[in-house]
Amino acid sequence: MPCPCCQPPDIDGIESFFDASRAQTEVDAYLRAGLDARSARLIEHLLNNAGGPLSLLDIGGGVGSVHYELLRREIAASAVAVEASSAYIEAARSIGRELGLDDRVNYLHADFALSADAVDPADAVILDRVICCYPLLEDLLSAAADKAGRFLALSYPRAKWWVFITFKLFNLYLRLKRCNFRTYLHSHSDVHAIAARKGLEPVHADTQGLWQITVFARA
């Protein structure tokens, strides 16, 4: 039996897990309380170092909280969001309408690793909690790094035993629920090696709960 990390991506699993009711919960949370702590830390380096307004590529941007926050704060001028869940794209559009920012974001419903050729490069590429939803790190992250003109900002699970156990238990729960979606703990050294190969060096690191945050910049 092939190892799960080598199996082809199951975007149907992503569609069924990241569904309309989960999306609505995240929309309500963002409109009520703003950006959560992890995403706030993820964009901190961009807030302090971006200079003029950036073009953004938010891969797996979910309901859009990160790109809307950067647009609201005028750190970003425009955004492209590539999302594998159609429910999350609808939810993100609804936030855009509510904030009057919908004309600044283009949405593409796709698996980015398979559709990168259709997407233009951007000053900053964001993957907030996304690489851990996708089995093929090399395919997703190297395609994302190719698009990063200045910054590549990532959050992904920390390399700690208790994070490992949390994610393993979560996968067991998904299996018992007969849900096809799975999470993946990719090696941090692989993440850094892919970024380095693409000419990106780490300029900011932080943690928030389960999450490692790393921002890379083009050398």
- Strand bridging mode 211-218 / 200-208: antiparallel
Closer to ligand SAM by Cβ: residue 19 or 102: 19
Stretch in the footprint of ligand SAM (CB under 6 A) among 97-105, 132-140, 191-199, 200-208: 132-140
Who contacts 134 (Cβ-Cβ below 8 Å, separation ≥6)? 9, 60, 113, 140, 184
What is the DSSP code string of 40-95?
Answer: HHHHHHHHHH--SPEEEEEET-TTSHHHHHHHHTTSEEEEEEEES-HHHHHHHHHH
Q: Calculate the alpha carbon distances from 188 to 146, 158, 195, 211 in Å.
A: 19, 8, 11, 12
Closer to ligand SAM by Cβ: residue 164 or 201: 164
Question: Rule CB under 6 A: is residue 113 a binding residue for ligand SAM?
Answer: yes
Closer to ligand SAM by Cβ: residue 50 or 61: 61
Least separation, in Å, of the C-beta of 109 and ligand SAM? Answer: 9
Least separation, in Å, of the C-beta of 102 and ligand SAM? Answer: 18
Q: Which of residues 68-97 bind ligand SAM (CB under 6 A)?
A: 82-85, 88
Q: Which residues bind ligand SAM (CB under 6 A)?
A: 14, 18, 39, 59-62, 82-85, 88, 111-113, 128-130, 133-134, 140
